[in-house]
Chain A
Amino acid sequence: MEWSLALGLLLGSMLVLMMMSVPVAFAFLGVNILGAWIFLGGEAGLVQLVRNSMVSVTTFTLAPIPLFLLMGEILFHSGIAYKSVEAIDRLISRVPGRLSVVAVVGGTVFSSLSGSTIANTAVLGSTLLPDMLKRGYSPTIAMGPIMATGSIAMLIPPSALAVLLGSLSGISIAQLLLAGIIPGLMMSVLFVTYIVGRCYFQPSLAPAEKEIESFTWGERIRPCLVYVLPLFSIFAVVVGSIFSGWATPTESAALGSLASLGAAAAYRSLSIKILVTALMETAKISSMILFIIAASMAFSQILTFSGGTTGLLSVFMEYDLTPFMLLLGMICVLLVLGAFMDQVSMMLVSLPFFIPLANANDINTLWLGVLMLIVMEISFTTPPFGLLLYVMRGVAPPHITMRQIYAAALPFIGLSTLVLIILMAFPEMVTWLPAALRN
C-alpha cells in the first residue's frame, strides 16, 4: 500500500472515531485493530498488538507520570495547594485582572511542586475560576491564564514529560529539567504582562473589585512565608536528589511524592481519607493517560510499519535545508502532529527521525528538546484535541461552552508561540542555565 494511502487510512479513521466522541484510547485501539489486521498480518498481527500493548506501559521511564501526579493530588486534596493560592492571592493587589494574575503566579509556583499539568489546571480551575466568574470576569480572561499556566508545569521541573523526553531521546534529563526553567518563567512574565495590559485597556474583561480588604504588609507576607516558601522544599528534594546523585530523575519522582506526603503531614493536613482520595484520583488520571499511551504507542508502531511516518517526514526532509530551516520544519511537523496527537505519541513518532537529523546537522539537541517541550506545551491547549481544554471543561461551570474554552486558550497559544520564536532566535536563553550550573 502507498504510504500516503496508509497514512490517510490510519489518521483519517482515527480522526473520524475521535470526532464521533469515541474515548480517545478506544479510538486509538480501534484503529490499531484495523492497522494490525492490514499491516501486521491479520490474526497474528492482533496477537502481536496485545503483546505490544503490554510492553508499551511496562516501562520504568513512565513511572514519573503517576508519581508527579500524586505530588499534585496530595497538595490538592490536603488543601495545601488552596492555602498557597490564597496566600498568593493576598500578596497581589491593585493590579488590573488581579485574579488572572494570581492564577499565573500561583500556577507557576505550583508548577515547581507538581509535575502534572492536569493537577495544575484542576487546582487553579477549581479554586479561582468560580470566584472570577462570580466577580464578572470574562470567561476568556478567566480560563485562558489557568490553562496556559497549567501547561507550564511541563517546562518547570519537576516535569514528567521532560523526564520522558530525555529518556527517549538520550538528551541529559538533568540538563533538560534545568533548561526548562527560563522559558517557563519567560512565559509566566509574558502572560502577566498580557493580562495586565489587556485588562488595563479593556477593563470590562475583569471588573475592578469593589471591596478591597486592607491588609498590613505583615498580614500579606506571612501567609506566603507559612504556606508557599516551605513548599519549595519539595522542589528541592526532587531537583536536589537528581543533582546530588542520590536518585535518577525517574526515581526522584518517588522522593517528591514522599516529600509531598511529608509536607501535608507537617501542616497537619494529612489523613488516611485524604491519602486514599489522592491515590484513587492519581490512579484514575494515570490510568486514563497511560491507557492512551499504551494505545498510541502501538498506533505509532503501526504508523511506522505502514511507511506512513517515514513517508511524511521524507517529504519534509528531501529538500536541501539549512539547520535552521530543518529545525523550523521539525517544529512545523510537531505543531501539526500536536493538533491531533498526545504528547507521548508526538515524541514517539518524531524522535527517531529528529535526533539523528539534529546530530547530523549540528543542531544542539538540548535546545531542540526544550523547543519540543514548548510545542508540546502549546499542543496541550490547541483545539480541538488539547487535553487541558477538556480538563478545563471538567472543572468549569456547566454553562461554559467548549467554544468559549477554545477562545480563551487562543491568545495564550499566541504568546507561547512568541516564546518559541524568541528561543529559536536566541538558543543561548535555553543553554545558558544548564551550562552555568555545570561550570
Chain B
Amino acid sequence: MDLRKIYNGILTGCGGAAAAAILFIVLLVSLNIFLRKFLQISIPWTIEVCEYALYFATFMAAPWVLAKNAHIRVDIFTSFLTLRYRRYLNITVDLIGLGVSFVFLVYGIQATHASWASNALVFKELIVPEWRLLSIIPISFFLLSIEFAIRLTVGLRSEPEAS
C-alpha cells in the first residue's frame, strides 16, 4: 500500500471520527433527557463529555476538511488574476498555511508537554489529565502541516498554465 493511500485513509478516518463524535453527542444528550424525565436520574458528566466531543470533532476533522478544499475562503479578488499570478498566489497561500500550522504544531507540542510535565488536571465532573485534551491540537496541526506541504509541492511542480 502506498503512502498516499495510507495518508488518505488517515484523513477519512479523522472525518469519520468527527462524525461519530457528533452522533455520540446526539445519543448521549437524548439518553440523558429521557433518563431525567422518566427515571429521575441523570448522567452528570453528559455536558462535559459532549464539550470534549465537540472540541475533538472540530480539530480532528480540520485536516480532512482542508484536504476536501472545504475551508471557507474569499476568492473574489483572486478570481480576476491570470493563471500565472493565481499560481504564485496559491503557492503563497499554501506557504502561509504551512507556516501557521507549523507554529501551532510547535507551540501545541510545547503546551501539551508543559501540561504533562506539571501533571495538570481538568477538574469538572470528571478529572481528566489536561495533556490528553491538548494533544489533539498538535495532532491536528501535524496533519494540517502535511496537507499544506503536499499542496505546496503540487503547486511548485505544476506548470503555470495547468494550475
Contact A54 B26 (CB under 8 A): no
Interface residues of A in 276-300 (CB under 8 A from B): 276, 279-280, 282-288, 290-292, 294
Binds A, one of B2-10, B63-71, B152-160: B63-71
**A58 within 8 Å of B (CB atoms):** yes
Binds B, one of A13-21, A120-128, A156-164: A13-21
**B119 within 8 Å of A (CB atoms):** no
Contact B107 A60 (CB under 8 A): no
Contact B111 A283 (CB under 8 A): no
Complex Cα–Cα for A155 and B62 (A): 28
Contact A58 B29 (CB under 8 A): no
**A25 within 8 Å of B (CB atoms):** yes
**A370 within 8 Å of B (CB atoms):** no
**A422 within 8 Å of B (CB atoms):** no
Contact B100 A29 (CB under 8 A): yes
For the complex formed, measure the closest distance between the CB of A183 and the CB atoms of chain B, giving whole angstroms: 27
Contacts of B54 in A (CB 8 A): 57-60, 62-63, 66, 290
Complex Cα–Cα for A51 and B136 (A): 11
| Residue of B whose beta carbon sits closest to that of A47 | B111
Contact A26 B97 (CB under 8 A): yes
Contacts of A62 in B (CB 8 A): 54
Q: Binary interface profile of B, 65-88, with partner A (CB < 8 Å = 1, else 0)?
A: 110101111111111000000000
Complex Cα–Cα for A31 and B34 (A): 45
**A408 within 8 Å of B (CB atoms):** no
Knowing A51-B134, A284-B15 touch, does A23 contact B71 (C-beta < 8 A)?
yes
Contact B51 A46 (CB under 8 A): no
Complex Cα–Cα for A283 and B19 (A): 5
Q: At the interface, is chain B mostly helix, strand, loop or mixed?
A: helix
How many A-B pairs have beta carbons closer than 8 Å: the answer is 188
Complex Cα–Cα for A279 and B60 (A): 14
Contacts of A371 in B (CB 8 A): none
Q: Binary interface profile of A, 231-268, with partner B (CB < 8 Å = 1, else 0)?
A: 00000000001000011000101110110000000000
Contacts of B70 in A (CB 8 A): 284-285, 288
Complex Cα–Cα for A402 and B28 (A): 42
Q: At the interface, is chain A mostly helix, strand, loop or mixed?
A: helix
Complex Cα–Cα for A25 and B99 (A): 14
Contact B55 A67 (CB under 8 A): no
Contact A23 B37 (CB under 8 A): no
Contact B50 A287 (CB under 8 A): no
**A390 within 8 Å of B (CB atoms):** yes
Contact A53 B137 (CB under 8 A): yes
Complex Cα–Cα for A19 and B133 (A): 34
- Say which residue of A26, A283, A387 sits within 8 Å of B96 (CB atoms): A26
Contacts of B137 in A (CB 8 A): 50, 53-54
Q: Binary interface profile of B, 30-54, with partner A (CB < 8 Å = 1, else 0)?
A: 1011000100000000010011101
Number of B residues, CB within 8 Å of A? 61
Knowing A24-B72, A26-B71 touch, does A402 contact B79 (C-beta < 8 A)?
yes
Contact B72 A390 (CB under 8 A): yes
**A49 within 8 Å of B (CB atoms):** yes
Contact A22 B96 (CB under 8 A): yes
Knowing A24-B74, A286-B58 touch, does A54 contact B25 (C-beta < 8 A)?
no
Contact A291 B71 (CB under 8 A): yes
Most chain A beta-carbon neighbours within 10 Å: one of B71, B99, B108, B137: B71
Interface residues of B in 97-120 (CB under 8 A from A): 97, 99-101, 103-104, 107-108, 110-111, 114
**B89 within 8 Å of A (CB atoms):** yes
**B61 within 8 Å of A (CB atoms):** yes
**A311 within 8 Å of B (CB atoms):** no
Contact A276 B19 (CB under 8 A): yes
Contact B111 A279 (CB under 8 A): no
For the complex formed, measure the closest distance between the CB of A19 and the CB atoms of chain B, giving whole angstroms: 5
Contacts of A387 in B (CB 8 A): 72
Contact B51 A21 (CB under 8 A): no
- Say which residue of A17, A254, A385 sits within 8 Å of B25 (CB atoms): A254
Q: Can you list 25 A-B pairs with a CB-CB distance of less than 8 A?
A: A19-B74, A21-B89, A22-B93, A23-B71, A24-B74, A26-B97, A46-B103, A50-B107, A50-B111, A50-B134, A58-B51, A58-B55, A60-B47, A63-B54, A66-B25, A67-B26, A246-B33, A247-B33, A251-B32, A255-B30, A286-B58, A288-B65, A288-B70, A288-B71, A291-B65
Across the A-B interface, the 6 shortest Cβ-Cβ residue pairs: A287-B61, A254-B29, A23-B71, A279-B19, A283-B18, A290-B58
Given A22-B96, A23-B72, A254-B26, list of 20 further CB < 8 A pairs? Answer: A19-B77, A24-B73, A33-B104, A46-B107, A47-B107, A47-B111, A54-B134, A54-B136, A57-B59, A58-B133, A60-B47, A66-B25, A70-B22, A247-B33, A283-B19, A284-B65, A286-B18, A286-B61, A287-B62, A387-B72
- Which residues of B come within 8 Å of A, CB atoms? 15-16, 18-23, 25-26, 28-30, 32-33, 37, 47, 50-52, 54-55, 57-62, 64-66, 68, 70-79, 89, 92-93, 96-97, 99-101, 103-104, 107-108, 110-111, 114, 133-134, 136-137
